[in-house]
Structure 1
Amino acid sequence: MTNELFRRLATIYLGEAIRYPKLRAVTLAQWALESGRGSSALARDHYNFGGLKWRKEMTPYATKVKYAAHDGEDFYCKFATLENFIAGYWAFLNRTPYSGWEANVATPEKFIRFVGPIYTPRPNYADAVLALAPEAEALLADVEKAEAAAVKPAAAPAVSLGVIVIDPGHGGNSDVSGSSANNAISVSNVKEKKLTLDFALILRDELLRQAAARNETVQVVLTRTTDINVTGKARAAMAFDHKAKLFLCIHFNGNKSATVRGTETFYRAKENNNINLAADMEFAGAVQTALFTALKTIDPGAKDRGIKPDNQGNPNLPGFGVLNDISLGNDRRQTPCRAAYIEAEFITNPSVDKLLISGPNAVPNRIAAMAAVAGACLAQMRKIP
């Protein structure tokens, strides 16, 4: 792997924070196979080392270019930078055909044997990638050694902001205690459970990106990364298990009337024995303001439904189990975890569906919305000891 362009890709990749670092070598090997170690015209001219065909979900990372590959002419992704390609590759895997890949990351071999048959129908594709993995490992080690030999000023230690737990609502195919498999379905027939996971993954990446830009670190824990259902109590318990500062649920609303829309955020009601009511209300307010402002910027029709107690003013309603302070472990902590529950929008509204799900700018709009929420969460974390 002596191609200069491919070595530059390895250098950039080594410095990028990715979700599963142990997959770095096997994915680099995959790109070596797809691009002929960086020698293909698609890699040279368009920074597309993965042979990624154009999909609308790639809009935040790439532009569309016509390219004649071995199997004929088609539209492919054109990346402006090597960093864009790396981010785009991982975003490509978050599409529906690859659903469940994050449950197959225990080893590089398990990962590529899951992803490979979806990526291409080529026989023995995973074996071919794995055969290049040692070469990729050696290249990464060589690049790291060269980087270490360079004289660089010492970097200031990153500031740790702590832990946030993100809870993508629903999941799986059956209801469990405190969590239904799915509630709302969008106008374009996308289930709420699919959207909550997608938005949660975007939020996770935004939290990591924004923190890194300020030389900060944040640990992001998701209650689920695949299409499974987790009990409400188990979701909340992750806040205590990880000593999280924040716990944020992501959901979407539905209504029989297609005209109803708006963004709202819930907190644990006083009547439901909230241990840290003022702090929860502050967190809910910050998240609500950030999300609504972002949506209003991209859609003047956005509506602010405000922050609300999880009993919605009825003292007889038990509220949301995931916001229960006992389940969150707040009765066992000196500084309780702040918790909030977003109902991002009514996906039964056609305008919302176009804005966030089926429209040409849906993915960039999702990223803008979650970037705003990430900023609000990080600001909260900086305030909490």
Structure 2
Amino acid sequence: MVQVMCITEHWHRNSEIIFLNNSNYSVQSSFVRKEAIHGGSLIIVTNNLKCKERSDIVKLSVERNVELSCVELEQFVIICVYRPPSGDFNTFESVMENSLSKLNSTSKSLLVCGDFNVNILESSSLTTRLLNLFKSFNLVNLFLEPTRITATSSTCLDNIFTNCSATETLITNGLTSDHCGQLARFPDKKNKIQREITCRPLTTSRFNSFKNNINAKLDNEILNKNNPHLMYGALFDIIKYEFNSSFKTKTLVLKETANFNEWATPGIYKSRVKLYELYEMKNYNFDENFIRFVRNYSKLFKKVCHAAKSMYFSNKIKNSKSIIKATWNIINSETGKIKQRDNQYKIINENQVYEKDSDVAREFNIRKAKPRFI
């Protein structure tokens, strides 16, 4: 069952869009022309999918130049694009760059589909500009075959540009249109293999309870035994019991996901992989346009990383209890000036601190005073 349908040139007015809804599907986003006739774009989604319209993207549309509809799902952001053949390409390019920049920081996969009215099967300046536009945002086309076939031409005007891998792609001719339809299927990230780990959460309150409970039992359980072996065995049993009581186990479910920096998004990670591939290609591709593209891609990548990192630290400071402390923690972390803290356990007996294992054992053997864990 198709879950999302993107339609261009729907030719409907606002008052007619509602009649496209039924018990299984509903229109979640649309662009309708106000001045001219025909044109437009819309996205129809199954009613069982959680979905919202990205009106901030839709309102960037320029009638008869670039007409956008956009929805956000749990795993994807989908843009449906119609670029009329008579539209100004500079306007289209500017609007699409603005739209993709807005969505560049999202961790969700991005799909840009529609009728671009640029034949990517031929070598032209518009083809180069279109492909470079999407490549700069790490989006590649899924189709490289004709989507509009007439008696005199065979062109690839319709496509899907994405930053994720499709499990299936298909060109379908069974439409009442002079364009072919494109079908793509993508894996459900929710079906990823999960694994469980068991841990013991360590908190200050639990650790204090652990120490206090041990100290409370030392008199009766330890010092009343004359045999050092029995004393050691009793101490070990107390520590083991109190550890299991104070630090109870907790099971966590971990998803098999990539290991990112704390501020980096999946989109940044994918862009980094793409950038490394471009650097490798520079070793044998000396075309000036390609070198310029790599240089611009690198600049854009650094700009996005800087913005994502700044946003992460800004939110971390804003949500902290102490802004000054959080700021200095970030500064020290970024400059490598983090002091190593001493978390070694110690025992005090008659105001004397003992740290070595041998000294602790000796004090248990020769003294009757109650030692205290710290």
TM-score by length of 2: 0.23
Give the structure with the larger strand fraction: 2
Q: Which has the larger radius of gyration?
A: 2
Q: Which has the higher helix share?
A: 1
Which structure exhibits the higher relative contact order, with contacts defined as CA atoms closer than 8 Å and separated by 6 or more residues? 1
